[in-house]
Each structure stands twice: as C-alpha cells, then as structure tokens.
Amino acid sequence: MPTFVTGPVEVSVPATCANLGPGYDSLGLALDFRDLVTAEVTGGSGAPVIEVRGEGRGEVPLDESHLVHRAMRRAFAEMGCETPAVRLTCDNVIPHSRGLGSSSAAIVAGICAARGLVAGGSLLMDDDAVFALAATIEGHPDNVAPAFYGGFTIARAEGGTFHATSVSVDPRVQVVVFVPPDPVETKVARGLLPDSVPHADAAANAGRAALLVAALSRQPELLHPATEDFLHQRYREPAMPASLRLVDALRADGVPAVVSGAGPTVLAFVDGSTRAEVEARVPSGWQVRALAVDRDGVRVTARG
C-alpha cells in the first residue's frame, strides 16, 4: 500500500487557450497566468477541508464534489490507494467559464497534487498516465495537454486513447486576451454547433490549421490567415455576440484574433510593436491582459 509524504505539495498550472481559431479540439497554447493549489494529507480518512481564494470563491463547492478533489480521488485510485483526508487551498486567478482552461487547470492540479502526495508517485503514475487521466476526466485533450506539458500542443484521440505532441513557439509570439464580464458555459457553446459542415469549409479549415502550426512555430507573419476559422466560431455567435464583434474588428485591422476555447474571451496575437495598440482596443467593462506563452506547464513543489 502506498504511503504519503509529510508536508504540503504546491501545484501551479497555467491558463490555456484551445482551438486557436481553426484548431478545433486539437490545438492548445499555455499562457503564463497560473492557478496555485496547495494540498496536504491531514491523516486518516474523512471529508476534505477546502478553501478557495480568488476566482470561484463563494461559487464552487467546498466538498468532495470540488473538481480538484474529484481529480485527486481518480488519481489516488489509479495509484492503488485510498483517498486520504486532505486540506486544499486553491488560489485561483484563471477566470471561470471564460474559455481560458480553468477546468483543465483544476483537473491537472488535482492529479498532480495526488501524485505528489504519494511517496514514489511518479513511479506509480508516469506523465503519460497523468495526461491520459486528465483528458479522460475533461472529455477532450486540447486544454489539458498545454496545461500539463506547457507551450503549444497538438492533441488527438485515437481508439479511446489520447496523445499530445509539443511544437516549439517562435519567441516573437506574444498574446493579449480580452476577458468579458459575463461567462458562457462550454456546454452551451458546444450545443450551438451543427452536426455537419460544408465540405468546402472543412477543407479550408484543415489548410488553415496546418498553416497555423507553421505560423506559431517559425513564421508568425502568417498568423492572420492561419487563424481564420470555418468550423465553430461563427456558429457560436448567438452566445457571445460581443466577442465575435471584437474578433471581426481586430481581424479587419490585420490583427490575428480568435475566440479563446469555447469563449467568450478573445485572444489576439501580437508582437512588441503592436501590443500596446491592441491592448487599447479593450471594450468597456472587459479586462485586458498581455501574457507570455508559458513553456513549463504544470509545476509541482514539495514543501515537506
């Protein structure tokens, strides 16, 4: 039976942007804007003690149904041990239901916290197993891949298993995100998508997604055409009309802009010469953040 380490474990997980325009359910980018989870085994068994600070405070449950704790339970089971009583402190900065990967960050944090609390946890559950479990809990891999591995990732599902490939990001690439005040639930955004799209749209989207890999990795001057989407953004406009108006306005001025994940946050790619000008386009009542691409992914630190 595995044993637990003494003292707390800190897990830091970056925000993420999935889809990136044409890369629907496959492309993801980690952003240097991090949630921090501190977990400690308190001894014996029993209900967790959970404190949430920042985003989600007063809104998310503070019992075993909390997403971080649910992910921890799944990870403990994978490692062959009972879930111990734990104390969790969640310092959240990633906005909830805004398309910046808050649920993926919680899932990755929970799994990695559980692995860090088990002596020899990395031997019982390697990185591939962590990613596979996180993608299974989330239901698709495009956000959990960059949350865990960092950087720019291409994720896919094959025969019930999940895979991720990391691609380098050109150092000139910078990001600005515009976060609206009102959330949109992912299930609502997904519910607006049609069962099929015209073949011409699918073909055009495949070409843009392939171009986007080249643009992000070595030719950022191609980001504007590479981020054009034909599969999902326009169908989701009824749920986030202000976001699509901002995307359209930015793109009309030559700025590579997309809906982040399922929205409603808007992400724009910039460089050092255009960042300030793009930031100034923030709509009234929205938040704007200039973010670096995170290249580390999850970070785990034992404090025992």
7 marked as part of a ligand binding site: no
In whole angstroms, give the CA distance from residue 179 to residue 195: 29
Residue 22's contacts (CB-CB under 8 Å, 6 or more residues apart) are: 205, 206, 208, 209, 212, 226, 227, 228, 229, 230, 231
Cα gap 200→215, rounded to integer Å? 22
217 is in an annotated binding site: no
- Please indicate if the annotation marks 97 as binding a ligand: yes
> Which burial class, exposed, middle or buried, applies to 273 when counting CB atoms under 10 A from its CB (0-12, 13-18, 19+)?
exposed
Distance CA 4, CA 270 (A): 45
| Residue 243 among known ligand-binding residues | no
26 annotated as ligand-binding: no
Q: Is 103 marked within a binding site?
A: yes
273 is in an annotated binding site: no
Query: Which runs of consecutive H residues, i.e. helices, occur in 91-198?
Result: 102-117, 121-124, 127-138, 144-149, 186-191
Token look-up 């405070």 returns 57
Annotated binding residue 236: no
Give the separation between CA 245 and CA 18, rounded to whole angstroms: 20
User: Which residues make up each annotated binding site for ATP?
Assistant: 95-105
Binding residues: 95-105
